[in-house]
Chain A
Amino acid sequence: MSEFKQTFNSSLGKKLIMALTGLFLCTFLIVHLGGNLLLFKHDQGFAFNSYANFLTHFPPIEVIAYILYISIIVHAVYALVLTLKNRSARPVGYAVQPKSDASWSSKNMGLLGSILLLFIVIHMSDFWFSYKYDNVLKFKEYRTDLATNVTTVGEYVPQVADFERSISTENNVEIVRVKDIHARVQESFSKLWYVAFYVIAIAAVAFHLLHGFQSAFRTLGWVHRKYQPIVYFFGTWFFGVIIPIGFALMPIYYFYLSLNK
């Protein structure tokens, strides 16, 4: 076996892969939340639809997106492999469940991760897949008068079958025609059960990262008396509280909007 293969097949090597993919997913969460804050803009989805269009048509982002998909798969596969190994390391269990001090999250990473995997599959098929491959989404046309900066919005029916987007300027009016993923957001989050599912999944993210973020630093061997409190603070307040609240507000806000329609 080559030395690299040996390294990554060892217990610590597999954990290294879990930690690196996990932390990469954490950085993705920040970017994903940042971009999606555009959902809170009152512009009939102009900024959000333009952003979605940019993400799917900018080659560097597409490369990173594929790294992201691979990370999710590798993280989940290694989680399964390690969990099975850990199970077989204790073939006969205890009659009295262990009462040792250990946080609830740390003992339920597999369960929380499974909820996340289910969520990622549903979330991606509802938004990513229907954006890229399904032809169910309609188009919107945003006309911005460059003199007054006023934007008006209307439906747009493509003239050609494989139309994707267009940006043009006519008579000092910028015309942007893009897929209306914003309408899909509005429609999805008008259903209470769907909103509830999102909130539960986001709670699972919070608990997964409450343990996972600081655990990844331990796995990498980056523990130091001086920096550990910062890692804990960041893992608890940023990844365990602020990011999940930011994400949860989106379905809740759109559900609230749908009630007042």
Chain B
Amino acid sequence: MSTGNMNLTLKVWRQKNSQTAGKFVTYKAEGISEDMSFLEMLDVVNESLTKKNDEPIYFDHDCREGICGSCSLYINGHPHGPKKAITTCQLHMRTFSDGETITIEPWRSAAFPVIKDLGTDRSAFDRIQQAGGFISVNTGGAQDANAILIPKVVADEAFNSATCIGCGACVAACKNASAMLFVSAKITQLGLLPQGQPERYSRVQAMVAQMDEEGFGNCTNTGACEAECPKEITLTNIARMNNDFFSAKLFREEHAHDHTGGE
């Protein structure tokens, strides 16, 4: 790894586990190259902490190429840092200037409790997905892809929503800690396509019910989520979810519990 000449001060949230209170601890990050990603910078800091027999800073990461949704970090007031449309693993240190102080916090939400340091438990998202983020199909030989025609605008819209990586930055950015951007992206991705239609109205009820149960806040359409989402999921999805939900509740026969995935 190339060494560089950036020296930074980090204010990092350290918390032993979900039971103990945390606090900010200040670290020096020295000899940082501007070509490093933000996570590589933290690796350098952790290496020196390990050498000193200190506990390294815990943070979530996996793919390090912006596709898995593991990395998080609320950096200087922005989930995934100050640059638009990227994840923290795609954030380069050249975004910052030499001598800068960087404050790093975990996602803050009652539904995402801190596990350790900067890592939070985002299994609430998994439970919402399990409640309805799927389609029920019998396995077997796949149909010919061209047998079902889908208008390109619809396919594009569904695909844009499907790019949501479930990182939770929308919750972190929202003043209400609302998960509606995430949930609406999942609902749109399936609900717009023919394969998702049969369960469209049971799905939206099941997923919204689970979202409420997890203790997320209520959207007030401020648009902070859309601005911070690394995948640029749009606020329009939330309106679409609302529309489907009210249609389901007021005009449709389906119940939330009809959505069982064939069990």
A233 within 8 A of B: no
CB contact between B224 and one of A10, A101, A217 (< 8 Å): that residue: A101
Contact of B221 among A7, A85, A106, A222 (CB under 8 A): A106
Report A-chain residues with C-beta under 8 Å of the C-beta of B224.
98, 100-102
Q: Is A223 an interface residue (CB 8 A)?
A: yes
B217 contacts the other chain (CB 8 A): yes
How distant is the Cα of A220 from the Cα of B250 in the complex, in angstroms? 13
Q: How far is the CA of A88 from the CA of B243 in the complex (A)?
A: 26
Closest to B204 in A: A12
Report yes or no: B239 in contact with A89, Cβ–Cβ below 8 A. no
- A90-B238 in contact (CB<8A): no
**Interchain CB contact under 8 A, B228 and A11:** no
Residues of A within 8 Å of B242, CB to CB, are: 12, 15-16, 218-221
Given contacts A89-B111, A95-B24, A222-B239, contact A106 B246 (CB under 8 A): no
16 A-B contact pairs sorted by A residue (CB < 8 Å):
A3-B249, A11-B208, A15-B218, A15-B242, A16-B242, A86-B176, A89-B110, A89-B176, A89-B216, A96-B74, A96-B76, A96-B105, A97-B77, A101-B227, A107-B175, A219-B219
A99 to B244: give the CA distance in the assembly, Å.
Answer: 31
A3 to B212, CA, bound (A): 16
Kindly state the separation between the CA atoms of A11 and B239 in the bound complex, as whole angstroms: 14
For A, the interface residue count at a CB cutoff of 8 angstroms equals: 41
Min distance, Cβ A134 to any Cβ of chain B, angstroms: 38
Q: B77 near A106 (CB under 8 angstroms)? A: no
A65 to B74 alpha-carbon distance, docked (Å):
48
What does the 1/0 interface line of A197-231 toward B look like (CB < 8 Å)? Answer: 00000000000000100110111111100000000
Instruction: State which of B211, B222, B250 has its C-beta within 8 Å of the C-beta of A106.
Output: B222
